[in-house]
Amino acid sequence: MAPHISNHRNCRIKCSETYLKIIKMSLLMTGSLFFYEFAHAENEVSNTNACPTRPKISTNRWQENWDVLKTPCVPKKIGDEFKYIPFGNNNYLSLGANIRERFEVNNNARFGSGNNQADRYLIQRLQVHADARIGDHLQLFTQLSDARAFDKKNISSTDQNRLDVEQAFIAWVSPLNNGTFKFRVGRQEMAFDLQRFISNREGPNVRQAFDGIWSGYEYGDWRILGYLTRPVQIEKDSTFNDHSKRNLSFSGFRVDKQNVWGGELSGYYSRYERDNASFTSVKGNEIRDLYDVRHMGKKNNIDWDVEGMFQHGRIGGQSIQAWGLSSITGYTFAEQAWSPRVGVQFDIATGDKNANDNELNTFNQLFANGSYFTLAGYSGYSNIIHIKPSLTLKPSDKLTLLSALGFQWRETTNDAVYFQGNNSMANTAGQGSSWTGAYIQLRADQKINSNLSVAAEGVHFEVGDTIKRAGGKDSNYLGLELKYGW
């Protein structure tokens, strides 16, 4: 039975065949703008013909294709007249918006070092976008974002970014020699794999964008792409002034191949350049060549994702030699109730072995997703050894529960304990033991419907003696989140 909506205005649907869906309301900004959505009545008819499905609300809104709404059999909702606005010949405009509200309690951000003490606050991210499709190949996409942190004591550029352009690009997609050619130019977001090192930074309040050119070609199981970009730098306290400059650049190329050893094999080379970089033992202009290889797949009930990166280059007269390795493996008891998945995560990234040997070994976290370890963001991907067993349960298709234990050490005691963004904790380099601490993580994700979801996460981190002697403390985090997409 396929849902069907009549395209004749004079058609009346009998009351006995109708039902009322959910009335949803989501507060946008700090004021009185609301989104309302009512589901239209649906008339069930005997029809075995295939019908296009409505697009799912995606993290990357530019990937959605709303021209399916021109098909009469696709279920319609209030507001669809703005999701599909046809004009000209074979063209349409689609409008959309997102809101994310997250209330956080963090009693000791960065383990209580510096001025990071007990804090509770609301972070809010509002996004609106316009997506124009011209013919079969051309796309013009623009997205504005306003991210605010209310009552937060220490606000960084990942917490707040007043109204600004998040994305604005022109894209072209067309067939080429039995494959598909893709091209984008402008401000755009970019994410690789599990976003360990290259991400759109969905976890924190402010996402990461790049100004530049991206081009790819897909042929069969192969995908080849290149990128020439300057990462966007955030000016958190004013509007429409985010910028990219020559002092920070990131460019390279990537190759993916499907159906290799039961999964996907990929690799990329990139060059990362940053002026006036600062690490515990050295400062100066930084140039890193990055070599990354990853394999992911799933066979029967086993899944895996393994990635390694080697970095070399120069900074402030010193050479750079660093590397990182990560793996996430799991086994799902698919036949059991709630489909339990037992997983193990392992991460290791180098730290600086000797501050006086003219070689920097500290791994650069690059553009990591701030929620890769936990949403609390206590740890960064530098000078770390991390082991995390976990258990995931799915009581229903819309509810996911996670519980995990994390154990952390420093890769070398000669280097510091690192937070996110290559920031180090004072008075830890060359001090104490390698043990950093352990944490417990509990998380629940509930999808209410295709537009609305909620989540909750709690983390308790017990720090080791090295951090305590440096002035750090045990830390607790609680996050409650609501997301709505239209």
Question: Domain spans of the chain?
Answer: 92-485
Sorting pLDDT into bands at 50, 70 and 90, what band is 346? very high
For domain 92-485, give its CATH number from 3.40.718.10, 3.40.47.10, 3.30.360.10, 2.40.160.100: 2.40.160.100
Dihedral, 428, 432, 434, 435 alpha carbons, nearest 10: -90
CB atoms within 10 A of CB 257: 16
Which residue type occupies 48?
T
User: Percent of the chain scored above 90 by pLDDT?
Assistant: 85
Average pLDDT over every residue of 306-329: 97
Quick one: 191 exposed, middle or buried, by C-beta within 10 A (0-12, 13-18, 19+)?
Answer: middle
- 365, 371, 374, 379 alpha-carbon torsion, rounded to 10°: 20
In this structure, how many other beta carbons lie within 10 angstroms of the beta carbon of residue 442? 14
Given this model, what pLDDT does residue 117 score? 76
- The tens digit of pLDDT for each residue in 367-385 reads 999 899 999 989 999 999 9
pLDDT band at 49 (very low <50, low <70, confident <90, very high): low
Q: Which pLDDT score is estimated for 166?
A: 98
pLDDT band at 23 (very low <50, low <70, confident <90, very high): very low
φ and ψ of 411, to 5 deg: -65, -35
DSSP-assigned states of every residue in 276-311: EEE-SS-EEEEEEEEEEEEEEEEETTEEEEEEEEEE
* Residue 180 CB coordination number (10 Å): 14
Query: Is the predicted pLDDT of residue 1 greater than 70, yes or no?
Result: no
Which of 7-11, 210-214, 402-406, 413-417 is least confident? Answer: 7-11
Task: Quote the pLDDT of residue 343.
Answer: 98
Do residues 94 and 83 lie in contact, with contact meaning Cβ atoms separated by under 8 Å?
yes
Q: Quick check: 293 pLDDT over 80?
A: yes
**pTM above 0.85?**
yes
Q: How many CB atoms lie within 10 A of CB 464?
A: 19
CA–CA separation, 284 and 237 (whole Å): 27
Rounded-to-integer distance, Cα 107 and Cα 143, Å: 34
Q: Are strands 359-360 and 318-332 parallel, antiparallel or unpaired?
A: parallel
* Cα–Cα distance, 426 to 112 (Å, whole number): 12
% residues pLDDT > 70 (the chain): 90
pLDDT average, residue stretch 52-69:
95
Say if residue 115's pLDDT is above 90. no
Confidence band, pLDDT 50/70/90 cuts, at residue 116: confident
Reference 59, options 104, 105, 125; nearest CA is 125
**Distance in angstroms (rounded) separating the CA atoms of residues 205 and 116:** 18
The whole-angstrom separation of Cα 328 and Cα 31 is 43
Better pLDDT: 332 or 32: 332
Contact 122, 101 (CB under 8 A): yes
How far is CA 426 from each of CA 120, 346, 355, 415, 467, rounded to the nearest angstrom?
A: 24, 26, 15, 11, 9
Q: Which residue, among 460, 416, 442, 425, has the nearest Cα to 107 in the 3D structure? A: 460
**Structure tokens of 252?**
């390279």
Q: How far apart are CA 187 and CA 211, in angstroms?
A: 4
Looking at residues 210-234, what average pLDDT do you find?
Answer: 98
Tell me 343's DSSP state. Answer: E
User: 43-45 and 85-87 as β-strands: parallel, antiparallel, unpaired?
Assistant: unpaired
Please state the separation of Cα 170 from the chain's center in Å.
22
What is the structure's pLDDT at 91?
97
Mean pLDDT over all residues of the chain?
90
Q: Does the pLDDT at position 21 exceed 90?
A: no
pLDDT for residue 276 is more than 80 = yes
Confidence band of 114 (pLDDT split at 50, 70, 90): confident
